[in-house]
């Protein structure tokens, strides 16, 4: 079976510090990978998605970047955090092949980031 991991679970960082959040998927190959941010009282905003190693697409301009150094590893980074980067960050994967399960996304447990 497939599992998705995120770490850390919670993080408190000062403004201007760097950020690295990691997401890994097990039990599948060549997944589509996604980073979402959920701000308090708002829905999920898609930040980045990736359909393969080294292939990153950004949905919105922001202070963050993403990388996919391995097939099942997705990293969210920032060089200098802003207060507005606070939120709940969720990683998700979906199968890249077709079929009835082809467009379902599976979510990780999330990382709660607080920027002070």
Tell me how far, at minimum, the Cβ of 46 lies from another protein, in Å.
Answer: 8
Catalogue the long-range contacts made by 59-65 (C-beta closer than 8 Å, 24 or more residues apart). 64/19
User: 23 to each of 94, 96, 98, 108, how far by Cα in Å?
Assistant: 13, 17, 23, 8
What is the 8-class DSSP label of residue 60? S
Of residues 62 and 94, the one with the C-beta less far from another protein: 94
Residues that contact another protein, how many (by CB under 8 A): 27
Of residues 18 and 109, the one with the C-beta less far from another protein: 109
Binding mask 43-82 for another protein (x = CB under 8 A): xx-x--x-x-------------------------------
């Amino acid at each position: 079976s497939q599992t998705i991991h995120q770490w850390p679970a919670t993080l408190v960082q000062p403004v201007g510090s760097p950020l690295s959040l990691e997401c890994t998927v097990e039990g599948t190959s060549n997944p589509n990978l996604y980073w979402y941010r959920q701000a308090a009282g708002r829905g999920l905003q898609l930040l980045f998605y990736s359909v393969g190693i080294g292939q990153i697409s950004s949905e919105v301009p922001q202070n963050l970047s993403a990388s996919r150094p391995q097939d099942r590893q997705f990293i969210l980074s920032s060089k200098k955090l802003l207060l507005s980067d606070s939120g709940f960050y969720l990683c998700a994967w979906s199968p890249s092949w077709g079929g009835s399960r082809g467009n379902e996304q599976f979510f990780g447990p999330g990382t709660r980031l607080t920027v002070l």
